[in-house]
């Protein structure tokens, strides 16, 4: 389920997906960018109604987008969900490219690749420190980014998005590196755990209670 649908009861969603499993059209299903409370609600609903349950959660996760560490990952662990993280390079920020604002992603979302915005300045400053750390430990910045995402015990798989064979070859060594505690401590000092340097990176759907003022005010 690619983003939660706040307008549809999760029980209805699970029932429809269970029908697909029973019909042999799919084997299993998972959620993507679900908040911890909805992951929990879905698990309880499946148990109560006898439907199949979400088996995986796909979360955006990188050194620059660490919000899932606070609640989503622990919730997934409690319920035995696999966690498939995506965007370990934060859409290119951690790729090591010097011309990032001119990249193909920046053409679609230029404000999120502008190093002069408040969030852009935070990322640029962190990049300098992360690149230095990667050099010290004999890795490229992208390899450090992949190794970081893989280091979390909740993470089952790190989804990468190379566009060329060369990019793939450059990323794969990061999957074979186990970062030591002292390296992870230094990453934590650069970007604190549970922190998203740019809130706009987390492009999950906005809950109705935040979108509609009427839901927050007594009448």
Which superfamily is assigned to 55-213 in CATH?
NADP-dependent oxidoreductase domain (3.20.20.100)
In order, the DSSP letters of 46-74 are HHHHT-----EEEEE-BTTB-GGGTTHHH
Helices within 86-138 (DSSP H only): 104-108, 118-136
Q: What is the pLDDT of residue 102?
A: 60
Arithmetic mean of pLDDT, 200-211: 78
Higher-confidence position of 80 and 207? 80
Q: What is the pLDDT of residue 181?
A: 96
For residue 22, what are its two tokens?
A: 């029973």
Q: If phi over 0 gives left and psi between -120 and 50 gives alpha, with beta otherwise, what is residue 90?
A: left
Where in the chain are the domains? 55-213
C-alpha span between 73 and 85 (Å, rounded)? 10
pTM for the complete prediction? 0.90
For residue 9, what are its two tokens?
A: 């009861």
Predicted confidence (pLDDT) per residue in 97-124, tens digit: 767 766 656 566 777 788 889 999 999 9
C-alpha span between 132 and 140 (Å, rounded)? 10
Q: Which residue has the tokens 């549809």?
A: 8
């Amino acid at each position: 389920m690619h983003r939660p649908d706040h307008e549809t009861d999760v029980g209805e969603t699970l029932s429809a997906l269970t029908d697909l499993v029973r019909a042999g059209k799919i084997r299993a299903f998972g959620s993507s960018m679900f908040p911890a409370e909805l992951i929990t609600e879905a698990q309880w609903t499946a148990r109560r109604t006898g439907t199949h349950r979400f088996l995986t959660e796909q979360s955006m996760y990188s050194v620059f987008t660490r919000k899932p560490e606070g609640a989503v990952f622990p919730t997934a662990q409690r319920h035995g969900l696999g966690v498939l993280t995506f965007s370990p390079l934060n859409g290119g920020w951690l790729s090591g490219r010097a011309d990032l604002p001119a990249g193909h992603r920046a053409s679609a979302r230029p404000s999120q690749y502008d190093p002069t915005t408040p969030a852009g300045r935070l990322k640029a400053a962190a990049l300098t420190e992360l690149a230095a750390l990667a050099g010290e430990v004999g890795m490229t910045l992208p390899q450090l980014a992949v190794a970081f995402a893989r280091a979390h015990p909740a993470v089952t798989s790190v989804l990468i998005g190379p566009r060329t064979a060369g990019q793939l070859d450059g990323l794969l060594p990061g999957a074979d590196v186990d970062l030591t505690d002292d390296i992870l401590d230094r990453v934590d000092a650069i970007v604190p755990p549970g922190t998203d340097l740019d809130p706009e990176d987390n492009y999950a759907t906005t809950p109705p209670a935040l979108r509609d003022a009427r839901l927050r005010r007594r009448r």
